[in-house]
């Protein structure tokens, strides 16, 4: 995992404080930090390591950088609140991505009530990096047109580089469902791409 570029360290108590800029998280973070610095640093250090990958996953899940930032922040807030109840600190990575996926799923559901993610509707002029990335060829366009359920599996599989078992764990669904969704997703993608690129059977 590459070091995530972030704000300069002198800007806040913690390098990544910028990502937790909402008052609701900053206040308890600071309050707690003044008493239990070790505890807090552990959380911040653990979270720091996740942010880049989390942003990438959320970005491709939501196909929107602003939504992705919100999702990462919300996941951070929730993680912080549940942090004291987390027994196995070494499982932070899996735990945090579970929270993130949950947040994204909820947000996608809310978003889908308001708009559909369709590459044709995407306006590249807004310059959203994720949209731009997805819109660069037919595979990306086909990906953005997948249903939320299928796209989650695909994004976790290929961007998150998770095994099917890990995906099942993150999404809290049976592995059989993951397999069938994965398969269905590939099938849909193929059907969409074939007329364009003539992928051989």
- Write down the least CB distance from residue 94 to other proteins, Å: 19
Tokens coding 25: 């998280």
Look-up of token digits 């959380």: 43
Alpha-carbon gap, residue 80 to 24, rounded angstroms: 11
Q: Which of residues 1-30 bind other proteins (CB under 8 A)?
A: 4-7, 18-19, 21-24, 27-28
- The only residue of 13, 49, 135, 139 in contact with other proteins, by rule CB under 8 A: 139
- The only residue of 14, 40, 50, 56 in contact with other proteins, by rule CB under 8 A: 56
Alpha-carbon gap, residue 111 to 129, rounded angstroms: 19
Alpha-carbon gap, residue 56 to 72, rounded angstroms: 10
- The only residue of 66, 94, 165, 196 in contact with other proteins, by rule CB under 8 A: 66
Q: Is 173 in the site for other proteins (CB under 8 A)?
A: no
Applying CB under 8 A, the site for other proteins has a residue count of 64
- Write down the least CB distance from residue 109 to other proteins, Å: 11
Residue 106 sits at the vertex; the CA angle it makes with 28 and 14, to the nearest 5 degrees, is 30
- Write down the least CB distance from residue 24 to other proteins, Å: 4
Look-up of token digits 């609701």: 24
Residues in CB range of 109: below 8 A, 6 or more apart: 148
DSSP state of 156: I
User: Cβ of 73: how many Cβ atoms within 10 Å?
Assistant: 19
Q: What residues line the site for other proteins (CB under 8 A)?
A: 4-7, 18-19, 21-24, 27-28, 31, 51-52, 55-56, 59-60, 64-67, 69-70, 73-74, 77-78, 81-82, 85, 106, 110, 115, 121, 123, 125-126, 129-130, 133, 137, 139-140, 143, 154, 158-159, 176-177, 179-181, 183-184, 186-187, 189-190, 193, 199-201
């Amino acid at each position: 995992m590459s070091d995530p570029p972030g704000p300069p360290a002198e800007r806040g108590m913690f390098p990544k404080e910028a990502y937790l800029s909402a008052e609701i998280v900053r206040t308890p973070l600071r309050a707690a930090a003044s008493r239990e610095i070790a505890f807090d640093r552990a959380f911040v250090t653990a979270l720091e390591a996740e942010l880049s990958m989390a942003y990438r996953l959320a970005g491709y899940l939501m196909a929107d950088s602003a939504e992705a930032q919100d999702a990462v922040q919300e996941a951070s807030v929730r993680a912080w609140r549940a942090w004291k109840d987390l027994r196995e600190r070494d499982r932070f990575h899996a735990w945090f991505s579970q929270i993130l996926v949950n947040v994204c799923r909820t947000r996608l559901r809310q978003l889908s009530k308001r708009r559909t993610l369709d590459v044709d509707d995407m306006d590249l002029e807004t310059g959203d990096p994720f949209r731009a990335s997805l819109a660069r060829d037919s595979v990306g366009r086909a990906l953005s047109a997948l249903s939320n359920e299928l796209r989650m599996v695909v994004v976790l599989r290929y961007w998150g580089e998770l095994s099917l078992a890990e995906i099942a764990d993150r999404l809290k669904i049976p592995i059989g469902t993951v397999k069938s969704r994965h398969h269905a997703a590939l099938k849909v993608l193929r059907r969409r791409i074939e007329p364009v690129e003539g992928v051989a059977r």
